[in-house]
Amino acid sequence: MAKKQSWFVRLGQSEWIRHTYARPNDDPLRLLGSVRRGMQIGALAKSADGEYFQVVGDFVTPLNKSKIEAAVAKAANSEAFASPQAMAKPAPPPIVVIKRRRIPVMA
């Protein structure tokens, strides 16, 4: 019997924006990040009453609350996803080379 896969959660706008659009302010769902389990992947949303949903575009699927809460707590405590800006190194400035044009000279 195959081992069941667990839910993997990543928090932040950069995660959920890949799977759905920004919701209006009066929408009952609040987008938290992304959620993945095997081939199932989508944005993670939480309703006002505390239920969790997987959102892909306009398609909304309810998720198991206790399993998702454990995955969210694990992601929130993880140093890697708590502050991605702190881990990012500044990129070196780009080098721009402007080549001189050849100008034909008539002799």
> How many angstroms from the chain centroid is the CA of residue 75?
12
C-alpha span between 93 and 96 (Å, rounded): 9
Indicate the SS3 state at residue 44.
Answer: strand
C-alpha span between 22 and 31 (Å, rounded): 8
Range picked from 58-67, 73-82, 88-97 for highest mean pLDDT: 58-67
b/e map of 74-98 (b: 16 or more CB within 10 Å)?
ebeeeeebeeeeeeeeeeeeeeeee
Give the mean pLDDT of 57-75.
89
Res. 81: pLDDT tops 70: no
- Output the pLDDT for position 2: 59
Domain ranges for the chain, please list them: 8-83
